[in-house]
């Protein structure tokens, strides 16, 4: 198989509801879409879901564009491949830049599954026909607004709610949500906002009283030792997100007992092959996993649904319906959840069609290269 043409689109869409985390606030997103066409004319799509700014990880939209233009597009156009892993080998020597690589990995996997005429989920070895979705709720200005958001999502049928926390917005919102929804599957995500101090440890230990499913990424990404020390003092499992960008990080987590749940993000791990490998390792170690999101547009969201169909994804994934985020998504139909459940598509590849007209209407920058040009 050979990719003959790659188009890159820088696409911006407004969010239906602004989103605040411990590190930043956003009202819209800009992601890069990758369209890869092979020599038979089959088209695969991928999404580079890097945040605009380097507050989640080191990448930005601008670094992703540069890495794509200078390295990934030329690699994609000059690699002859059968399995998506062989395509990914074309950029193996590039260190880091996982989000940028993930966009090309998804496009390669989509192309591979479409050429084989099978759904991406099946191509990855997925076995589930439906996926349980959870929602991620940002920090709100008041407890009432947060409670309103939680009630709205519970009424929409979502069975798991994740709350963003930060120093000063932790015990109170958790106590309020727990009081209003005693049996709800609730977890919290700090995006690394806590310092490894006695004061923070006391706050995080106090969260043990609220029957949370997990506490996600309390400390800085590289600080496995602080997470291990905290885990030893908590009943609530720690879940690592930002800390785990490759399987070596996962082995560190398992060896140190720095976390007991894994958030797998296709973007953060550099693509679908790496995400699947992390799933396999976690499953062998008896560690439950779920699929995290980056507010993906439909292309990345569809990839998240596909990976979530693997058997080790036993916890609800951040694959809520497109409508929670975007009034009109870039795929047709949009990803929808009914009663908090998303069906795994049965059509070939990602299982959705990209609305190219809508993509173009929201595109601020494009790149269009063919194999003959590199």
Q: What amino acid positions are annotated as catalytic residues?
A: 164, 265
Using the contact rule CB under 6 A, the part of the chain among 67-75, 230-238, 252-260, 287-295 near ligand OSB is 287-295
User: Could you say whether residue 259 binds ligand OSB (CB under 6 A)?
Assistant: no
294 binds, among ligand OSB, Mg ion, none (CB under 5 to 8 A by kind): ligand OSB
Is 22 or 105 the residue whose CB approaches ligand OSB more closely?
Answer: 22
Residue whose C-alpha is closest to residue 96's, from 279, 242, 246, 219 = 246
Report in angstroms how near the CB of residue 318 gets to Mg ion at its nearest: 9
Stretch of 79-87, 198-206, 220-228, 290-298 lying at the interface with ligand OSB (CB under 6 A): 290-298
* Cβ at position 223, least distance to Mg ion in Å: 15
User: Measured from the CB of residue 211, what is the shortest distance to ligand OSB in angstroms?
Assistant: 21
Q: How many CB atoms lie within 10 A of CB 62?
A: 14
Distance CA 81, CA 338 (A): 38
- Applying CB under 6 A, does 294 fall inside the site for ligand OSB? yes
Q: Which is nearer to Mg ion, 241 or 296 (CB)?
A: 241
267 lines the binding site for ligand OSB (CB under 6 A)? no
In this structure, the strands spanning 25-38 and 43-48 are antiparallel
Q: Does 191 bind ligand OSB (CB under 6 A)?
A: yes
If contact means CB under 5 to 8 A according to the sort of partner, which of Mg ion, ligand OSB, none does residue 56 touch?
Answer: ligand OSB
Cα separation, 331 vs 349, whole angstroms: 13
Beta-carbon contacts of 117 under 8 Å, excluding residues fewer than 6 positions away, are 348
Site residues for ligand OSB, 226-245, by CB under 6 A, read: 241
Among 189, 249, 329, 355, which residue interacts with ligand OSB (rule: CB under 6 A)? 189
Interface residue with ligand OSB among 9, 45, 56, 326 (CB under 6 A) is: 56
Query: Using CB under 6 A, which residues numbered 83 to 102 contact ligand OSB?
Result: none
* Binders in 118-147 for ligand OSB, by CB under 6 A: 136
- Binding residues for Mg ion (CB under 5 A): 189, 216, 241
Binding positions for ligand OSB, rule: CB under 6 A = 56, 136, 189, 191, 241, 292-295, 318, 320
């Amino acid at each position: 198989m050979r990719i003959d043409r790659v188009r890159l689109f820088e696409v911006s869409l407004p969010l239906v509801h602004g989103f605040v985390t411990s590190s930043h606030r956003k009202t819209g997103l800009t992601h890069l879409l990758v369209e890869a066409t092979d020599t038979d004319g089959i088209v695969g799509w991928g999404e580079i879901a890097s945040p605009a700014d380097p507050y989640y990880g080191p990448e930005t939209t601008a670094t992703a564009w540069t890495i794509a233009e200078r390295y990934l597009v030329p690699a994609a156009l000059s690699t002859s491949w059968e399995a998506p892993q062989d395509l990914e080998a074309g950029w193996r020597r590039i260190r880091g830049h996982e989000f940028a690589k993930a966009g090309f990995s998804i496009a390669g996997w989509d192309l591979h599954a479409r050429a084989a005429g099978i759904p991406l989920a099946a191509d990855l070895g997925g076995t589930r026909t439906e996926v349980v979705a959870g929602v991620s709720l940002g920090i709100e200005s008041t407890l009432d607004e947060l409670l309103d958001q939680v009630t709205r999502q519970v009424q929409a049928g979502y069975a798991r709610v994740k709350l963003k926390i930060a120093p000063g917005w932790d015990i109170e919102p958790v106590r309020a949500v727990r009081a209003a929804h005693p049996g709800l599957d609730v977890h919290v995500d700090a995006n690394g906002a806590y310092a490894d101090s006695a004061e923070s440890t006391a706050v995080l230990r106090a969260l043990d009283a609220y029957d949370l499913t997990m506490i996600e990424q309390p400390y800085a990404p590289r600080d496995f030792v602080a997470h291990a020390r905290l885990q030893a003092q908590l009943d609530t499992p720690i879940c690592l997100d930002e800390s785990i960008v490759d399987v070596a990080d996962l082995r560190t987590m398992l060896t140190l007992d720095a976390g007991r749940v894994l958030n797998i993000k296709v973007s953060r791990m550099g693509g679908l092959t790496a995400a699947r490998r992390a799933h396999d390792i976690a499953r062998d170690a008896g560690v439950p996993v779920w699929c995290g999101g980056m507010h993906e547009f439909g292309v990345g969201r569809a990839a998240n649904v596909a990976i979530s169909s693997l058997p080790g994804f036993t916890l609800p994934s951040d694959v809520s319906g497109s409508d929670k985020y975007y009034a009109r998504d870039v795929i047709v139909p949009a990803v929808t959840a009914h009663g908090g459940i998303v069906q795994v598509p049965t059509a070939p590849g990602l299982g959705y069609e990209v609305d190219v007209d809508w993509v173009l209407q929201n595109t601020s920058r494009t790149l269009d290269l063919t194999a003959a040009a590199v």
